Chain A
Amino acid sequence: MTGRIFSVVGGMFLLTVCSKGNQSTVQAAPPSSSASAVSTAGGTITGKIKFTGTAPRNPTIDMSEEAACKSKYTTTPTEEVVVAGPANALANVFVYVKSGVPAGQTFTAPTTPVVLDQNGCRYHPHVLGIMVGQPLEIQNSDPVLHNIKAIAKANRPFNVSQPGAGMKTTRTFAAPEVMVNLECNVHGWMHAYAGVRPDPFFAVSGQDGSFSITGLPPGTYTIEAWHEKFGTQTATVTIAGTESKTANITFAAR
C-alpha cells in the first residue's frame, strides 16, 4: 500500500522533472584561461547601409489609450519598421561578424550594461547588440505598466513587468542568438530586437546608415546585416594588419 502510493507520487514527480516543458539554458563555451581582451588596435570594417526602391510607410501609432505616453509627443509617433535616412540610408540594421573569428578565441563580456529604455511607450534603442553574459538593463521611464517579453530560442525566454517609472530589471543572455525579439504586450506596437553575440564584433547602423566594427584581428570575415523587414545580406571582407576596410550593403525594399 505504502509502496504503491510512493510509486504513484514518485512517478508524477519524475514526470515533472523529466518533462520537456522547461527550457534549459544553452550554455556557451566557458571562458578559457587564455581569453584575450579586445584589442582596440585592430582592423576595422566600416560601411554604409542603403536600400533601393521605395520605403514602405511606417504606420502611425495611436497612443490615445495611454495618455501618459501620448503627452510626450508633439507630432504623431510612428513605428520604426523602416527608419530611412538621407539618400535611402537604412538605420537600425544589426551588422555582425558571422564567421571568420579564429576558433577557440573567447572574449570577456563587459560589465557595463546595455541599457534598454522604455520611454514614450517605445523602446530606445529599437535595435541593440549585446554580448553573451553582458547585462541588459531594462528600465521604465514611463509611469505606466510595460512588460518586457523576450522571445528567444537559444536563450531562456523571460517576461517581466515594470508597473511604474524608475523600475529597473537586469537580464543576461547565455547563448548567441540573432535576434532575440522583445515586445510589450500592453502596448502592442512596441518591439525591439537584440543581437546576442559571443564576441564584440557587431554594430547597429545609425540614422545615416553607417556602421563600424573595430578591433578585428587579421583574417577573412563574413559579415551579416540583419533588418527586421528587409531580411539579411552578407559580405566578405579580408583584414590585414590594422587596416580599415569598407563594406557597403544594400537591401532591396519590400
Chain B
Amino acid sequence: MRWWLPDAGSTFAGPIDALFLAILIITGIALVVVEVGLVTFVIKYRARPGRKAFYTHGSTRAEVIWTAIPAVTMVALGLISNHYWVLMKDKKSIPPNAYHVGVHAKQFEWQVTYPGADGKLGTGDDFTVRNQLHVTVNEPIAVELSAEDVIHSFFVPEFRVKQDAVPGMHITAWFQATKTGEFEIGCAELCGMGHYKMRGRVFVHTPDEYKAWMAQQAAGGTE
C-alpha cells in the first residue's frame, strides 16, 4: 500500500516534492489551527444554564491579521512556485542538447517516433514504435507531443511529467530521468472508452543499453 507520491525518477521530482511538502506543512498548520479551534470552541463554549454569549460584532485587528498572513503566504508561495514552473514548462527552458522524441497520441495508443541513427527527428531513418518510450538516463529528453483525434495527456508519475496532447497543437514537454528502469505512462485526459488502457512504458537505459536497443530497432522492424 502506497501512502505518498511515487518514488522520484527525474530531476523535477526533487523541487516538486519539496514544494508539495512545504504546502502540506503550511496547510497542515492552518488545518490544525482551524480544526483544533473548532473542537475547542465546541467543548468550551457549549450552552450551559446561566451562560451568555459574548456580544461583539468583530475585531478589525483580527481581520487585518488573518487577511495579511494568508495573503503574504500565498504571494510567497506563488513566487517560489513560478520559478520552477518556468523551468519545467517554458519553451526556452528546454535544454538545447535535449534528445527529441515524437509522441503521437491516438485512441488508444502512444506512437513513439525515434530519430534513428542520425539523431534527428523528421529524417528518413526515423522509426515508430507503439507504447514504448526508450530514453537514456541523465539526459534531457524533449517529448514532442501531438494528438491524432482527441485530447490525451502524457503522464509519467515517477518523472512528475504531465502534458496534454491536443489535436492541431505541437507541444514539447521535457524531462531528465535520474534512474534506470521501467516506468509506466498513463493517459491523464479522458479520451474515450479505452482511456484507461492507454498504458505505455518508459525504459530508461544506460547510454550503452540505449545504443544497443537503437541498433536492434534498425535491424528488425516491428508493428
Residues of chain A whose beta carbon lies under 8 Å from any beta carbon of chain B? 59-62, 64-65, 79, 144-145, 147, 159, 161, 185-186, 188-189
Please give the distance in Å from B130's CB to the nearest CB on chain A: 6
Contact between chains at B223 and A79 (CB < 8 Å)? yes
Q: Which chain A residue lies CB-closest to B130?
A: A188
Contact between chains at A186 and B108 (CB < 8 Å)? yes
Q: Which chain A residue lies CB-closest to B199?
A: A65
Contact between chains at A185 and B107 (CB < 8 Å)? yes
> A residues within 8 A CB of B193?
147, 159, 161
> A residues within 8 A CB of B107?
185
Q: Which chain A residue lies CB-closest to B131?
A: A65
A61 to B108, CA, bound (A): 17
Task: Output the residue of B106, B129, B193, B223 with the most chain A CB within 10 A.
Answer: B223
> A residues within 8 A CB of B162?
none
Q: Which 4 A-B pairs have the closest CB atoms?
A: A62-B222, A59-B223, A65-B131, A189-B223
Interface size of B by CB at 8 A reads 19
From the candidates A62, A79, A144, A161, name the one contacting B129 in the complex (CB within 8 A). Answer: A62
Contact between chains at A60 and B108 (CB < 8 Å)? no
A185 to B108, CA, bound (A): 5
Contact between chains at A62 and B130 (CB < 8 Å)? yes
> B residues within 8 A CB of A60?
220-223
Residues of chain B whose beta carbon lies under 8 Å from any beta carbon of chain A? 106-109, 129-132, 193-194, 196-197, 199-201, 220-223
- Starting from the known contacts A147-B108, A147-B193, 5 additional A-B residue pairs (CB-CB under 8 Å) come to A62-B130, A65-B200, A79-B223, A185-B194, A188-B106
A59 to B130, CA, bound (A): 13
Listed by A's residue number, 29 A-B pairs whose Cβ atoms lie within 8 Å are A59-B221, A59-B222, A59-B223, A60-B220, A60-B221, A60-B223, A62-B129, A62-B130, A64-B132, A65-B132, A65-B199, A65-B200, A79-B223, A144-B197, A145-B194, A145-B196, A145-B197, A147-B193, A147-B194, A159-B193, A161-B193, A161-B194, A185-B106, A185-B107, A185-B109, A186-B109, A186-B194, A186-B197, A188-B109
Task: Output the residue of A59, A65, A159, A161 with the most chain B CB within 10 A.
Answer: A65
Q: Which chain B residue lies CB-closest to A189?
A: B223
Q: Which chain A residue lies CB-closest to B196?
A: A145
> B residues within 8 A CB of A147?
108, 193-194
From the candidates A65, A79, A161, A186, name the one contacting B201 in the complex (CB within 8 A). Answer: A65
A42 to B7, CA, bound (A): 71
A144 to B129, CA, bound (A): 21
Q: Which chain A residue lies CB-closest to B198?
A: A186
Please give the distance in Å from A159's CB to the nearest CB on chain B: 8
A59 to B223, CA, bound (A): 6
Contact between chains at A61 and B197 (CB < 8 Å)? no
A98 to B220, CA, bound (A): 41
> A residues within 8 A CB of B106?
185, 188
Q: Which chain B residue lies CB-closest to A57?
A: B221
Q: Which chain A residue lies CB-closest to B129?
A: A62
> A residues within 8 A CB of B221?
59-60
Please give the distance in Å from B112's CB to the nearest CB on chain A: 11
Task: Output the residue of A59, A62, A79, A144 with the most chain B CB within 10 A.
Answer: A62
> B residues within 8 A CB of A186?
108-109, 194, 197
> B residues within 8 A CB of A59?
221-223
A240 to B187, CA, bound (A): 62
Q: Which chain A residue lies CB-closest to B149?
A: A185
Task: Output the residue of B108, B196, B201 with the most chain A CB within 10 A.
Answer: B108
